[in-house]
Amino acid sequence: MAVYYEGKIKKALCGALLLLSLMALSSSPPAGGGAAPPSAQVSPSTACNDTTDPTFCRTVLPPRGSSDLYTYGRFSVARSLESARRFAALVDRYLARHRGLSPGAVGALRDCQLMSELNIDFLASAGDALRSTDTLLDPQADDVHTLLSAILTNQQTCLDGLQAASSAWSERDGGLAEPIANGTKLYSLSLSLFTRAWVPTAKGSKHGGGGNKKPHHGHGHGKKPPAAATANRRGLFDVTDDEMARRMAIEGPERTVAVNGVVTVDQGGAGNYTTIGDAVAAAPNNLDGSTGHYVIYVLAGVYDENVVVPKHKKYIMMVGDGISHTVITGNRSVVDGWTTFNSATFAVVGQGFVAMNMTFRNTAGPWKHQAVALRSGADLSAFYGCSFEAYQDTLYTHSLRQFYRGCDVYGTVDYVFGNAAVVFQGCAFLSRLPMPGQSNTVTAQGRSDPNQNTGTSIQGCSLLAAPELAAAASAGGYRTLTYLGRPWKNYSRTVVMESFVGDLVDPAGWMPWAGDFALDTLFYAEYNNSGPGADTSRRVTWPGFHVLGTGADAGNFTVTSMVLGDNWLPQTGVPFTSGFITSN
């Protein structure tokens, strides 16, 4: 397994000393890419030319002298870390004097507080990696690319929450807008310089591709996965007694998975814990995955609780008794005063999280608007044989790298949304009956920067009508318009490939967000789909929409390329296909 970002956060050097030390670093051999190799000495102005905001870049980099792109990139990341620490302190001060603010505004600030803490962690880890070498190879290069992409996502999440609560803010609280904007520019600059220096053929390229890696098949999973999860899939962890629960290895579908402890949750009191939250709280902190996952086996039952797996609870594997048997449910919503981010019934941040054979549900209903069933901002997280059930904003694939296999996702408006690098394989997307006048949109991908390595890949899945929507249609009710997605942010990126598209999907395929917003900067694509809704002859004619004619471009959105799954998915026990599902 590759060594992923870990370790203590190192203190940033003071401004002047930092600049002197970075500028004094010797150049390394050329790494290729661009008009000049990243190790070539160039002026700050030249280094800024191909960044996302050259004018802002020139205000950040030192105005005199010359250096290489590696040194400029390190300098920008260090500046970003300083900025993140200042912003975190500012948010703390606002929270300390939050009297008079609405609960929604305070909730948004608390979301910003978490995002700021994560950004400090991520920038420190990225800085450590970049100081070690001028040559980063996958998976380390992808690790850093993922971290820098997530920092921008975190910043955008903070801003979105504050804007949603803006009506509750007084004039004195407007002081966060400028720091957020400046921080976003600085983080974007760091990402831009990183992709130029360390990832010349970056997956986050403006045209929406995924680099020049050749996709391949692997792990013996050549068969097409099932279109939907079964109602009760226990294969990976089928315990029947205490002796089995305490064994130190779990026999997976394809391999044996290492386990570092097993506990059980049983509402009847026969297990180690009666609530999932208590089991998570008692789990060991900061496991690195080298000794296996810490398993929480949740017996059948309906668990009415909101659960958070925080950042220091890493490499937890949560296994239930099957969809509709082990159910975690809640009813938080934006209408009831929660932020979208914190409306989740189940939220996970800790790296390496795996969930199997469970249902995650939010029962707030369509009239409560945004109401999340599960939010994942956990890097290297995987979900197998799970069901996610809500209406608007069901599944929040917030950030970092994620994988879903054999899962069911139920919803109406934007019901898979976020800005992770995420692949769905063999899943069923089941559009429900929305409120009168609403259309269904399966995805609302939130990529906000052209250099982010994020996007949603739907591979070998089925896009179908949920029973209540199908019943309404057959009864002669009004036809609900259903679309594959709409662009939440400027560089929204979603690919549907090798999937069955039902007749519920409108011939246009994709829906605009507002007017012509993002229509020429998004990247939406379809490849080798089947079913009555797969005909692309009447699809939208936006500049950013593509029908991929060969497997080469589509290969950028496979497990191998999109999430580097060959490096980490084998240890989860979750089956996956590395490349294409069907022969090419």
Q: Helix, strand, coil shares of the chain as percentages rounded to 5?
A: 30, 20, 50
Side-by-side strand order, sheet with 416-418: 307-309, 346-348, 374-376, 395-397, 416-418, 440-445, 482-485
Cβ proximity of 483 and 441 under 8 Å:
yes
Q: Which amino acid is at 537?
A: S
* 90 or 205: which leads in pLDDT: 90
Strands 387-389 and 301-304: unpaired
Which candidate, 486, 392, 395, places its Cα nearest to that of 445? 486
What is d(CA 152, CA 399) in angstroms, rounded to the nearest whole number? 10
pLDDT of residue 199: 84
Domain ranges of the chain: 44-198, 244-572
Query: Is the distance from CB of 324 to CB of 285 less than 8 angstroms?
Result: no
pTM (predicted TM-score): 0.88
pLDDT value at position 486?
98
pLDDT of residue 204: 40
Residue 15, pLDDT score: 32
Q: What are the structure tokens assigned to 256, written together?
A: 């044996």
Is residue 484 within 8 Å of residue 445, measured between CB atoms?
A: no
pLDDT of residue 533: 97
The token pair at 491 is: 């560089």
User: Which CATH superfamily groups domain 44-198?
Assistant: Invertase/pectin methylesterase inhibitor family protein (1.20.140.40)
pLDDT band at 473 (very low <50, low <70, confident <90, very high): confident
- 10-14, 106-110, 418-422, 528-532: which range is least confident on average? 10-14
Band (pLDDT 50/70/90 cuts) for residue 208 is: low
Residue type, 22: L
Question: What pLDDT score was predicted for residue 31?
Answer: 34
For domain 244-572, which architecture applies? Answer: 3 Solenoid (2.160)
Q: How far apart are CA 97 and CA 31, in angstroms?
A: 50
Which residues neighbour 385 within 8 Å (Cβ) at sequence distance 6 or greater?
229, 230, 233, 322, 323, 356, 357, 405, 406, 407
**Annotated catalytic residue within 414, 449, 506, 566:** 414
Cis peptide before 139 (omega within 30 of 0): yes
pLDDT of 262-281, one tens digit each? 999 999 999 999 999 999 99
Active site residue 414: yes
pLDDT tens, position by position, 50-84: 899 999 999 999 988 889 999 999 999 999 999 99
- 75: three-class secondary structure by DSSP: helix
What's the average model confidence in pLDDT over 95-110? 85
In terms of Cβ atoms closer than 10 Å to its own Cβ (0-12, 13-18, 19+), residue 288 is middle
Give the Cα separation of 370 and 376 in Å (integer).
16
pLDDT of residue 552: 79
pLDDT in tens, 168-187: 454 445 578 889 999 999 99
How much is the pLDDT for 133?
80
pLDDT band at 37 (very low <50, low <70, confident <90, very high): confident
Q: The dihedral of CA 566, 567, 571, 572: what is its sign? A: negative
Q: Is 154 helix (H, G, I), strand (E, B) or coil?
A: helix
What CA–CA distance (Å, rounded) separates 456 from 423? 6
